[in-house]
Amino acid sequence: MRRPQKRRVPVMRVKTVRLAVLALSVGLSLSASLAQAEVLKDPQWRDWLEAGKSAELEQAAQTRLKSDPEDSQAVLALGLLALESGDAKRLEAAVKPVQACADRQPAQAACFYVLGSLQGVQAMNGGMMKAISLSGKIKDNLSRAVELDPLLFDARDALQQFYLMAPGIAGGSVAKARDLAQAAQARQPEHAKLLRARVEMKEERWAEAERELSAIKPGEDKDLLAGQRAGLYQLAIQLFSDKQYAKAKPIFERLQRDFPGHAAGHYGMGRLLSETGQIDEAIKSLERARTAEGAERYPVDHRLGFALLAKGDKTQGKSVLERFLGNKKANPRNLDEVRKRLAELG
């Protein structure tokens, strides 16, 4: 049985749309970083993308565009790089050629997937009216990608995140998110577990979500393995945010154990240890996160700087926070908090 929806006044609806699409944009950006390599056909290009070698990939794509301005793979590569950067100008520059790709090749799912993802991040960066105006396009483009290629999992994944994060007024639907998971069961059963876990998290059924995530058998599928890791991290952060530290801790420990070379578990554990007053251990965990794979996706220096200040090391803490201000991918809210703290320190 569906839960009855609470009525909200129009002002709250506008605010909800904005927050939901902002969250969607974050989700789409994360999804792209996890599984976007399958959009690219050239093995070398995929390797560059997965290794974070943006300069090499961009140069190769630009070279190919010089000989063929309509080369779809080059256009999509630059679109994916724009997603990785999060830079507003690069996003804006990427949208038009990707839209042209979709117009020229209406049967190519990848064009619609990248277009919807770009629009998602634009919605996040563009303010309330931009978010409202783009929500329909995001949904339509991602839906089209799934329709054209049901096995393009990153498109299905991104569309499900839209349904789960957007309110009903903007096209959100838990029922549709659940349907997407069910539709993947026959041909992508392991991926379906990840999608079902997301629905369980939306419904705050934490134990069921962890069970689905733990049951995933990724095999040699690196993208699915990354999705499992991201799902476990999302679950642990949800529990942490709800102050359910005893339930969050073993999941962070599992991430540290199963993915020792990745920043997710070390960063999450560092946050938990800081919150529970275990400052020395928190600093160790955050220092480890800082040098691990994927560290650029987490505000490690933000939390590390605050932990050092909590320990009483003003000089080092201030230095780390100043370093964080140079992070071009940092969340503006985190940057504002750090600037405020630095101003207080003098």
Among the ranges given (110-124, 177-191, 236-250), the one the predictor scored with the smallest mean pLDDT = 110-124
Tell me the C-alpha distance between 298 and 30, whole Å: 11
For the segment 47-99, what is each residue's pLDDT rounded down to a tens digit? Answer: 888 777 889 999 999 999 999 999 999 999 999 999 888 788 899 999 999 99
Whose structure tokens read 């997301």? 198
Q: Which of 291, 294, 200 is nearest to 239 (CA)?
A: 200
- CA within 13 Å, CB half, 88: 6
Q: What is the pLDDT of residue 305?
A: 97
243 vs 253: CA distance, rounded Å: 17
**What average pLDDT does the structure give for the chain?**
87
- Say which CATH architecture domain 12-172 belongs to: Alpha Horseshoe (1.25)
Burial class (CB in 10 A: 0-12, 13-18, 19+), 61: buried
* Residue 88: predicted pLDDT: 83
DSSP state of 293: B
Q: Please check whether residue 37 is in contact with residue 49, taking contact to mean a CB–CB distance below 8 angstroms.
A: yes
Confidence band of 127 (pLDDT split at 50, 70, 90): low
Residue 86 three-state SS: coil
Task: Give phi and psi for 242, each to the nearest 5.
Answer: -85, 10
The residue type of 278 is Q
C-alpha closest to that of 132 among 143, 119, 142:
119
Bridge partners of 262, per DSSP, are: 293
Look at residue 36 in the predicted model and tell me its pLDDT.
55
* Alpha helices (H) in the chain, listed in sequence order: 10-35, 43-51, 54-67, 72-85, 88-104, 109-125, 128-148, 153-165, 174-184, 189-202, 206-215, 222-241, 245-258, 263-275, 279-290, 300-311, 314-324, 332-345
Q: Which of 307, 303, 277, 279 is nearest to 290 (CA)?
A: 303
Quote the pTM value.
0.82
Average confidence (pLDDT) over 41-50: 87
The rounded distance, in Å, linking the Cα atoms of 161 and 177 is 8
pLDDT digits (tens, 9 = 90+) for 131-143: 778 889 999 999 9
Tell me how far the alpha carbon of residue 172 is from its chain's centroid: 18
- Extract the tokens encoding 98: 């990707």
Q: What are phi and psi of 7, to 5 degrees?
A: -80, 140
12-26, 176-190, 234-248: least confident range: 12-26
If one counts every other C-beta atom within 10 angstroms of the C-beta of residue 17, the result is: 21
Pick from 275, 322, 300: which is nearest to 314 by CA?
Answer: 322
* Number of other residues whose CB lies within 10 A of the CB of residue 275: 14
pLDDT at residue 268, rounded to an integer: 98
User: Are 307 and 270 spatial neighbours (Cβ–Cβ below 8 Å)?
Assistant: yes
Q: What is the pLDDT of residue 223?
A: 85
Decide if pLDDT at 129 tops 90: no
Task: Pick the closest to residue 316 from 326, 327, 304, 325 (CA basis).
Answer: 304
